[in-house]
Amino acid sequence: MTDRILRLQHVEVRVPDLELCTAYYTEVLGLIETARTDNQVFLKCWDEREHHSVILREAPTYGLDHMSFKVGDAADLDYFTEKLQAVSVPVKRYTTRERECPGGLGVCHAALLYLDGFAGS
């Protein structure tokens, strides 16, 4: 067990106008669109090896929906789950089969750890 977070994996941002915000993130900031669903756009920077680092999700208001972190191994997920639950933070864990990438691209993440109630509307 490495007992540490390696890096930020991705952020999901709520946006009321998906097309306008996609244009801003791609044309102004220079991110690359990698996939799209009916209500989400997946983006990354030009030098990234991962599928995406930013997700724009259509929602009534702007805000940060969630962020995910990459850890060294599966034991680190257990460690952080226990650490969060010890201070009464509810945690929801997803298996790889529960979180598929859009467009049939396979599994986006080996494992995800979400704080229940943190994600907004």
What is the CATH number for 99? 3.10.180.10
CA–CA dist 111, 95 (Å, integer): 6
pLDDT of residue 70: 80
* Long-range contacts of 92-98, Cβ-Cβ distance < 8 Å, separation of 24 or more: 92/116
Any domain includes 27: yes
- The per-residue pLDDT for range 91-112, each reduced to its tens digit, is 777 665 555 555 444 444 444 5
Mean pLDDT for the chain overall: 79
Task: Find tokens 């799209």 and name the residue.
Answer: 36
Give the rounded percent of residues in the chain with a pLDDT score beyond 70: 74
Q: Which residue has the higher pLDDT, 118 or 28?
A: 28
Residue 88 is given by DSSP the state T
pLDDT for res 101: 54
What's 25's DSSP letter?
A: I
| CA pair distance 84, 91, nearest whole angstrom | 7
pTM above 0.75, yes or no: no
12 falls within a domain:
yes
CA dist., res. 92 & res. 12, Å (int): 17
With respect to residue 75, please indicate whether it lies within any of the assigned structural domains: yes
Q: Say how many domains are in the chain.
A: 1
CA distance 25 to 108: 21
Q: Is position 88 within any domain?
A: yes
pLDDT at 5: 82
Model confidence at 59, in pLDDT bands (50, 70, 90)? very high
pLDDT number for residue 42:
95
Q: Identify the domain containing residue 109 by its residue range.
A: 5-115
Residue 121 lies in a domain: no
Asked if the structure places residue 120 within a domain, the reply is no
Residues paired with 94 in a beta bridge: 112
